[in-house]
Amino acid sequence: MAAAAPELERRPGQTLRASSVSRSFAGVEALRAVSLELRRGEVLGLIGPNGAGKSTLVNLLSGFDRPTHGQVLLDGRDVTRWRASRRGRSGLARTFQHSHAFRGLSVRENVEVSALGVGAAPNEASRRADELLGLLGLAGYADAPASALAHGDERRLGVARALATRPRYVLLDEPAAGLPEAEVPAFASVVRSVRDDHGAGVLLIDHNMTLIMEVCDRIQVLDQGETLAEGTPDEIRSNLDVAAAYLGESAVVEEDA
């Protein structure tokens, strides 16, 4: 079973929480009093149509943006005003919908830099880079410049960079976009292993409902800046309100622009 399970039992209540957060952009409310709780050792899916507020919520949780109202709590501590870098050193990592890789560095160096950034020694950083590039199917590109990667590979490099920090909580913003359907099961295994082998809490945003339903322990649905539903994959699947939110939006098959 999960290597980290005994640790989790000793330290229950380890969570990353958004408590009734709101965020307005020039009068447009991207989020209205949304709460979310990500526990260690679970995969929480965050789904909803384009523009629902998913990335905005990830920005607030990770410290790349601040809520207009509400709080963010990391293991019970109010981190609402903490910078992203400080949250990173406290065990929080994220990926971006659009590449944040260092384009002039090689794929391997990009992962090493992430590990070094949280204090790993150089040989440990190299070890993590090799392990993660293998895990994410990027070993063949290790020495290529990051700028040479195709869009889908770039997303997985983002995942490798996030995991190189050995996070306790990791927020994945559409990491499987652009991934061929045949490679989705292998990616699902990576997500499970982050949960089971490392005991991390994984927040997974994706429009691929097969991946979401297969890998998530719980799912929260956002629509127009509000929580529409939350529950197990079975509960969400049978929730007619959720289906209604998708009608006309075709969000299940939408990808980011």
Ligand X SMILES: Nc1ncnc2c1ncn2[C@@H]1O[C@H](COP(=O)(O)OP(=O)(O)OP(=O)(O)O)[C@@H](O)[C@H]1O
Q: Smallest distance from the beta carbon of 166 to ligand X, in angstroms?
A: 26
32 lies in the site for ligand X, by CB under 6 A = no
Q: Which is nearer to ligand X, 118 or 252 (CB)?
A: 252
- Alpha-carbon distances of 180 from 139, 164, 208, 233, rounded to whole Å: 17, 24, 11, 23
Partner from ligand X, Mg ion, none binding residue 52, C-beta < 5-8 Å depending on class: ligand X
Nearest-10 crossing angle of helices 122-135, 151-163: 140
Q: Which of 14, 56, 114, 165 binds ligand X (CB under 6 A)?
A: 56
Beta strands at 169-173 and 201-205: parallel, antiparallel or unpaired? parallel
- Which residue in the shown chain puts its C-beta closest to Mg ion? 55
Q: Smallest distance from the beta carbon of 207 to ligand X, in angstroms?
A: 7
45 lies in the site for ligand X, by CB under 6 A = no
Partner from ligand X, Mg ion, none binding residue 51, C-beta < 5-8 Å depending on class: ligand X
67 lies in the site for ligand X, by CB under 6 A = no
Site for ligand X in 86-115 (CB under 6 A): 97
Terminal-to-terminal C-alpha distance of the chain: 39
Alpha helices in the chain (DSSP H): 5-10, 54-62, 84-89, 107-117, 122-135, 151-163, 184-196, 209-215, 233-237, 240-246
- Alpha-carbon distances of 19 from 29, 54, 66, 86, 226, rounded to whole Å: 16, 15, 13, 20, 13
Using CB under 5 A, list all residues that contact Mg ion: 54-55
52 lies in the site for ligand X, by CB under 6 A = yes
Partner from Mg ion, ligand X, none binding residue 181, C-beta < 5-8 Å depending on class: none
Q: Smallest distance from the beta carbon of 70 to ligand X, in angstroms?
A: 15
Question: In the structure encoding, which two tokens stand for residue 44, read together?
Answer: 């929480």
Question: In the structure encoding, which two tokens stand for residue 199, read together?
Answer: 């005991």
Contacts of residue 184, Cβ cutoff 8 Å, sequence gap at least 6 = 176, 208, 210, 211
53 lies in the site for ligand X, by CB under 6 A = yes
55 lies in the site for ligand X, by CB under 6 A = yes
Q: Smallest distance from the beta carbon of 145 to ligand X, in angstroms?
A: 27
Q: Which is nearer to Mg ion, 14 or 55 (CB)?
A: 55
Phi, psi dihedrals of residue 89, rounded to the nearest 5°: -70, -15
Q: Which is nearer to ligand X, 47 or 74 (CB)?
A: 47
The site for ligand X, by CB under 6 A, has a size of 12
What span, in angstroms and rounded, lies between the C-alpha atoms of 252 and 257?
Answer: 14
Residues near ligand X (CB under 6 A): 25, 30, 48, 50-56, 97, 256
